[in-house]
């Protein structure tokens, strides 16, 4: 067995793995070192939201991956992203900076550029979310929903041109929401189940994506919006399985609204809290 044979075997194995269960997210957010502070990535067309452009959360997940690689810590604990312009499919460069490497947290930033144009700026604190996790206080709890099998796969039969993310993420609700039928119900909040359709576990890097992969909650008001800034706190490493999600906006004014998301894993543990500031469109 010589070197070339091994290399070929690895290439074939990689090609097979690519078509296996649960590789899409890891593959499409992979970053490759190009210089001590620079990574390259390829923005896939599998995570597009309205307009056929890469979803903002997907871009933020790639930026988080670059920061995490640079810092060498396992878990993004808090990530904030600024969305500077629309992302595109194809190559991206990520210039990273180590801001501080401390005992409990390491801090870093990444500027994701495409064709030399800054697209997303992210900064983050990374740490280690493994080990014991003592809960001292809780004033909230996971959404109470019928089992996923008794809920509707709300976009399972939909084809929205350009919106490839609905082929990768599954959303289940007790009933079909009004906006899907063109009749928004006027209440910009929802509780739903969410998972990756390919069976992959939503990991700490996928959380910054999935908190942003639902339809903007203002669809319930017949409005649409786009993200200006998104902050996500990863509160624990998610267990495999469905995530129970809660999304709401409370204040839509001056052309802006916040959108708050909570995600709870199959153990009933809060795994992510996010808030974004979004700008109304149209």
Pair 29, 43: CB distance under 8 Å? no
Question: Closest distance between a second copy and the C-beta of residue 7, in Å?
Answer: 41
Pair 41, 92: CB distance under 8 Å? yes
Instruction: Determine the Cα–Cα distance for residues 282 and 280; give it in Å rounded to an integer.
Output: 7
Pair 260, 249: CB distance under 8 Å? yes
Question: Closest distance between a second copy and the C-beta of residue 121, in Å?
Answer: 5
Question: Closest distance between a second copy and the C-beta of residue 30, in Å?
Answer: 24
Nearer to a second copy, 27 or 105 (CB): 105
Instruction: Determine the Cα–Cα distance for residues 214 and 204; give it in Å rounded to an integer.
Output: 17
Nearer to a second copy, 43 or 218 (CB): 218
Nearer to a second copy, 42 or 189 (CB): 189
Pair 63, 117: CB distance under 8 Å? no
Question: Closest distance between a second copy and the C-beta of residue 132, in Å?
Answer: 8
Question: Closest distance between a second copy and the C-beta of residue 186, in Å?
Answer: 9
Nearer to a second copy, 172 or 235 (CB): 235
Nearer to a second copy, 41 or 271 (CB): 271
For residue 140, give the DSSP letter.
Answer: -
Give the residues lining the site for a second copy (CB under 8 A): 77-78, 80, 82, 84-85, 99-100, 102, 104-105, 107, 109, 111, 118, 121, 123-125, 129, 133-140, 188-189, 218, 221, 223, 228-229, 231, 233, 235-236, 248-258, 270, 273, 275, 277, 279-280
Lookup result for tokens 């209440």: 187
**What would you measure as the largest C-alpha separation in the chain, in angstroms?**
67
| DSSP reduced 3-state for 246 | strand
Instruction: Determine the Cα–Cα distance for residues 248 and 278; give it in Å rounded to an integer.
Output: 12
Nearer to a second copy, 81 or 148 (CB): 81
Nearer to a second copy, 41 or 223 (CB): 223
Pair 96, 38: CB distance under 8 Å? yes
Question: Closest distance between a second copy and the C-beta of residue 123, in Å?
Answer: 6
Instruction: Determine the Cα–Cα distance for residues 202 and 279; give it in Å rounded to an integer.
Output: 27
Question: Closest distance between a second copy and the C-beta of residue 164, in Å?
Answer: 26
Instruction: Determine the Cα–Cα distance for residues 261 and 242; give it in Å rounded to an integer.
Output: 15
């Amino acid at each position: 067995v010589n070197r070339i044979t091994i290399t070929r075997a690895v290439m074939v194995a990689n090609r097979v793995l690519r078509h296996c269960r649960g590789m899409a997210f890891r593959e499409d957010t992979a970053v490759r070192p190009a210089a001590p502070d620079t990574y390259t990535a390829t923005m896939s067309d599998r995570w597009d939201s309205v307009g056929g452009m890469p979803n903002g959360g997907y871009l933020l997940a790639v930026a988080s991956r670059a920061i995490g690689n640079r810092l060498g810590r396992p878990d993004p604990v808090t990530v904030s992203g600024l969305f500077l312009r629309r992302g595109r499919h194809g190559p991206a460069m990520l210039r990273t900076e180590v801001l501080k490497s401390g005992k409990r947290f390491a801090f870093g930033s990444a500027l994701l550029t495409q064709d030399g144009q800054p697209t997303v700026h992210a900064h983050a604190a990374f740490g280690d979310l493994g080990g014991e996790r003592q809960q001292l206080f809780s004033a909230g709890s996971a959404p109470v929903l019928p089992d996923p099998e008794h809920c509707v796969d709300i976009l399972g039969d939909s084809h929205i041109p350009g919106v490839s993310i609905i082929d990768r993420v599954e959303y289940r609700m007790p009933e079909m929401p009004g906006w899907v039928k063109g009749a928004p119900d006027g209440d910009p909040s929802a509780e739903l189940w969410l998972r990756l359709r390919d069976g992959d576990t939503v990991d700490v890097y996928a959380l910054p994506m999935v908190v942003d992969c639902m339809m903007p909650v203002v669809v319930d008001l017949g409005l649409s919006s786009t993200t200006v800034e998104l902050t996500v706190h990863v509160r624990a490493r998610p267990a495999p399985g469905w995530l129970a999600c809660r999304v709401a906006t409370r204040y839509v004014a001056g052309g802006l609204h916040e959108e708050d998301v909570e995600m709870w894993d199959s153990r009933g543990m809060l795994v992510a809290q996010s808030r974004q500031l979004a700008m109304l469109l149209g």
